[in-house]
Amino acid sequence: SGHPAFDVHAVRRDFPILQERVNGRPLVWFDNAATTQKPLAVLNRLDHFYRHENSNIHRAAHDLAARATDAYEKARETVRAFLGASSADEIIFVRGATEGINLIARTWGTKNIGDGDEILVSQLEHHANIVPWQQLAQEKGARLKVIPVDDSGQVILEEARRLISARTKIVAVTQVSNALGTVVPVAEIVELAHRAGAVALVDGAQSVSHMRVDVQAIGADFFVFSGHKVFGPTGIGAVFGRKALLDDMPPWQGGGNMIADVTFERTVFQPPPHRFEAGTGNIADAVGLGAALDYVDRIGIETIARYEHDLLAYATHQLAPIKGVRLIGTARDKASVLSFVLEGMKPEDVGRALNSEGIAVRSGHHCAQPILRRFGLEATVRPSLAFYNTCDEVDRFISVVRRLARA
Ligand code: PMP
């Protein structure tokens, strides 16, 4: 069809775990929104780090410290390029999206949010982009406001326009909903925020593995993601923050690495990003994340996006018409996620039945209770696709759901 060749079977050979058998059947990994599997490129990079480079980073007289520091800072540069940021100083390594949002709430938020101010999130948010803002609002006497979604699960831009005012200090929205798969028009929302003088945070936990992300094109002031959802290790992620904002932010945690000078009377802090990286960081996994992003780059994120788009359409067209299936999240622009309930059957039981056929999906509230309740639900079944999934796997999944629907 004119697209550059994408060989899913070649790609699958890069992911050893996809050879696993579960309950006697070849594993189908449809739990990519919870975490993704890791390619050999990442496993080998971690192995290489611990065999040949392992050391704490920064000041030391020895060679391994220089190797580890170089590898860590090279990974920071890889994250910068992946997000389209203008400087590696705008990239802070954190544990993941959750820690990133908490860091922003505790530093930028503590300094800039006050009594009567408003924080705006969308109804689609993961708890990680609700709870830290709720905590901050309660402490500061600020208000947390919510942009509602329509029946398709898409954010209503008119409502965003109506809710953003001179009192709004920050608008924090997800780029892709982990519960429904909705792709949110974040650039438009960021523009609305900026016009009102607010800053904008985009939660990229579910977007970076499925589409080209360019923080400058989006216009985001802050952007966060987790490495483990983009084929990298757990325990590592990144915050992008615009330099002017980071320069003006107080530190969060205090300790080693983040200081320029310490006496018992006062501490002079490092400039960003080191000001926000107290203590020994997750050096090896940052390096592993760099390898994951390099791997994605070699496949090509546009190639990935096109393949997944077709796979999601294929799955949707088979799932939606099954009698008793109610698909939640039918926005025109979606990525990866199929969220549904099956009449007369608990989501946990659907998940268990799929697992007995080797098919891993998540069932539950997906850490996004408010959006499920918007649709009158406490839980859904949530298969979520990645570029190493196939039409054959979708067929296996659909045949189980058809059987359950008939029962
Ligand atoms: N935001 C979204 C949209 C997510 O899907 C997730 C993870 N499910 C998070 C934030 C939190 O990511 P983590 O648990 O890796 O910190």
Q: Is residue 38 part of a domain?
A: no
Same-domain pairing of 332 and 394: yes
Q: What is the pLDDT of residue 229?
A: 98
Same-domain pairing of 264 and 309: no
Q: Is residue 96 part of a domain?
A: yes
Q: Is residue 148 part of a domain?
A: yes
Q: Whose CA is nearest to atom 12 of ligand 1?
A: 97
Residue 3 has pLDDT above 70, yes or no: no
- Picking from 50-64, 117-131, 334-348, 378-392, which range would have the lowest pLDDT averaged per residue? 50-64
Question: How far, in Å, is the centroid of ligand 1 from the Cα of 225?
Answer: 8
Same-domain pairing of 257 and 339: no
Residue 2 has pLDDT above 60, yes or no: no
Q: Is residue 35 part of a domain?
A: no
Mean pLDDT of the 49-70 span: 94
Same-domain pairing of 16 and 165: no
Is 226 a pocket residue for ligand 1 (Cβ < 6 Å)?
yes
Same-domain pairing of 338 and 349: yes
Question: How far, in Å, is the centroid of ligand 1 from the Cα of 321?
Answer: 30
pLDDT by residue (tens digit) across 320-354? Answer: 999 999 999 999 999 999 999 999 999 999 999 99
Residue 1: band (very low, low, confident or very high) from pLDDT cuts 50, 70, 90? very low
- 223: burial class by Cβ within 10 Å (0-12, 13-18, 19+)? buried
Percent of the chain topping pLDDT 90? 97
Is 175 a pocket residue for ligand 1 (Cβ < 6 Å)?
no
Q: What is the pLDDT of residue 182?
A: 98
Mean pLDDT of the 24-51 span: 98
Q: Is residue 344 part of a domain?
A: yes
Q: Is residue 313 part of a domain?
A: yes
Same-domain pairing of 181 and 326: no
Q: How many residues are there in the chain?
A: 407
Is 80 a pocket residue for ligand 1 (Cβ < 6 Å)?
no
**Pairing between β-strand 25-26 and β-strand 21-22 as defined by DSSP bridges:** antiparallel
Domain of 315: which CATH number? 3.90.1150.10
- Picking from 5-9, 96-100, 109-113, which range would have the lowest pLDDT averaged per residue? 5-9
Number of domains into which the chain is organized: 2
Same-domain pairing of 323 and 199: no
Q: What is the pLDDT of residue 407?
A: 85
Is 97 a pocket residue for ligand 1 (Cβ < 6 Å)?
yes
User: How does the average pLDDT of the chain come out, rounded?
Assistant: 97
Domain span at residue 239 reads 44-297
Same-domain pairing of 236 and 345: no
Question: How far, in Å, is the centroid of ligand 1 from the Cα of 98?
Answer: 6
With a CB cutoff of 8 Å and minimum separation 6, the contacts of 62 are 55
Question: How far, in Å, is the centroid of ligand 1 from the Cα of 228?
Answer: 10
Residue 65 has pLDDT above 50, yes or no: yes
Last residue of a domain, one of 275, 297, 319: 297
More confident residue, 261 or 5: 261
Question: How far, in Å, is the centroid of ligand 1 from the Cα of 60?
Answer: 35
CA distance 163 to 179: 23
Q: What is the pLDDT of residue 198?
A: 98
Last residue of a domain, one of 234, 268, 297: 297
Domain of 211: which CATH number? 3.40.640.10
SS3 314: helix
**Pairing between β-strand 359-360 and β-strand 28-29 as defined by DSSP bridges:** parallel
Q: Is residue 334 part of a domain?
A: yes
Is 102 a pocket residue for ligand 1 (Cβ < 6 Å)?
no
Tokens of residue 16, six digits: 């050893």
Is 203 a pocket residue for ligand 1 (Cβ < 6 Å)?
yes
CA distance 318 to 395: 9
Same-domain pairing of 242 and 387: no
pLDDT by residue (tens digit) across 189-223? Answer: 999 999 999 999 999 999 999 999 999 999 999 99
Q: Whose CA is nearest to atom 14 of ligand 1?
A: 98
Same-domain pairing of 247 and 316: no
CA distance 366 to 381: 9
Residue 327's φ and ψ, nearest 5 degrees, are: -85, 130
- 127: burial class by Cβ within 10 Å (0-12, 13-18, 19+)? middle
Is 206 a pocket residue for ligand 1 (Cβ < 6 Å)?
yes
The residue to mutate among 121, 206, 224, having the most atoms of ligand 1 within 8 angstroms of its beta carbon, is: 206
Is 128 a pocket residue for ligand 1 (Cβ < 6 Å)?
yes
Last residue of a domain, one of 297, 330, 345: 297
ipTM given for this complex: 0.99
Same-domain pairing of 111 and 233: yes
Which atom of ligand 1 lies at the shortest distance from residue 125's CA?
Answer: 3
Q: What is the pLDDT of residue 69?
A: 97
Q: Is residue 36 part of a domain?
A: no
pLDDT by residue (tens digit) across 127-186? Answer: 999 999 999 999 999 999 999 999 999 999 999 999 999 999 999 999 999 999 999 999
Question: How far, in Å, is the centroid of ligand 1 from the Cα of 226?
Answer: 7
Active site residues: 367
Same-domain pairing of 293 and 304: no
Residue 5 has pLDDT above 70, yes or no: yes
pLDDT by residue (tens digit) across 278-310? Answer: 999 999 999 999 999 999 999 999 999 999 999
